[in-house]
């Protein structure tokens, strides 16, 4: 059974104890310089097409890639994520569903609110799971829901997808962790 540290004195806060529960964590690096990313992709393609015996051309491209890597490093953000319990994810999904209920013109028609509801759920889960965003050694740990919405809405699609993929993988790992813990508890 997982050990929970319960204070010995009479007064203690259950929510504080539960917040200290260990959940899986991960981090994902994203780069917010799309131009540099595009240039690097082009350079890597060119590099792959150059025969190995053309060392001067390869060296020139290697230098250009190194410069672009430095530029990308300046645009790097590291998102530190921590999984949340399944019950919290269910509550966030319920909240998104209450804000954007299923709306169909007929039984067989497409849900008109599905896209907005999915975006809202993603914003809520980002708010719950992003514990820190690091850039150039500086950290930002506290985000309001409005700031998360702005972040979510303004990031490029590939960056949003990278963070969402990391969140999905972390959620899957968390579910395996929860099942393993339940097996130990019984």
Stretch 11-38: mean pLDDT? 81
pLDDT at 104: 80
Nearest to residue 123, comparing CAs of 163, 86, 85? Answer: 163
In this predicted structure, the answer to whether residue 13 has a pLDDT above a threshold of 90 is no
**pLDDT tens sequence across 110-129:** 888 898 999 999 999 999 99
In this predicted structure, the answer to whether residue 93 has a pLDDT above a threshold of 80 is yes
Nearest-10 Cα torsion for 164, 167, 168, 171: -160
Q: Say whether 48 sits in a helix, a strand or coil.
A: helix
Stretch 33-38: mean pLDDT? 91
Percent of the chain with pLDDT over 70: 85
**Chain-wide mean pLDDT for the chain?**
87
Return the higher-pLDDT residue of 78 and 102: 78
In this predicted structure, the answer to whether residue 31 has a pLDDT above a threshold of 80 is yes
pLDDT at 179: 60
Calculate the CA 184 to chain-centre distance: 29
Structure tokens at 5: 């540290």
pLDDT at 151: 93
CA distance linking residue 83 with residue 7, whole number of Å: 25
**pLDDT tens sequence across 96-115:** 999 988 888 777 788 888 98
In this predicted structure, the answer to whether residue 26 has a pLDDT above a threshold of 60 is yes
| Cβ–Cβ under 8 Å, residues 76 and 37 | no
CA distance to 31, 84, 158, 166, per residue, from 172 (Å) = 25, 11, 21, 10
Stretch 136-140: mean pLDDT? 93
């Amino acid at each position: 059974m997982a050990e929970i540290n319960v204070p010995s004195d009479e007064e203690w806060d259950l929510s504080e104890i539960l917040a200290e529960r260990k959940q899986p964590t991960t981090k994902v690096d994203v780069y917010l310089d799309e131009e540099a990313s595009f240039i690097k992709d082009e350079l890597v393609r060119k590099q792959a097409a150059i025969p190995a015996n053309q060392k001067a051309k390869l060296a020139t491209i290697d230098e250009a890639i190194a410069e672009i890597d430095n530029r990308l490093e300046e645009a790097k953000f590291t998102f530190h994520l921590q999984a949340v319990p399944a019950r919290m994810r269910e509550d966030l999904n319920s909240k998104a569903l209450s804000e954007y209920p299923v709306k169909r013109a007929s039984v067989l028609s497409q849900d008109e609110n599905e896209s907005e509801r999915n975006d809202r759920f993603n914003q809520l889960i980002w708010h719950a799971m992003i514990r820190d965003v690091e850039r150039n050694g500086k950290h930002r740990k506290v985000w309001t829901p409005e700031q998360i919405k702005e972040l979510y809405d303004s990031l490029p699609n590939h960056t949003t997808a990278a963070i969402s993929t990391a969140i999905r993988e972390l959620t899957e790992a968390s579910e395996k962790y929860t099942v393993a813990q339940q097996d130990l508890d019984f």
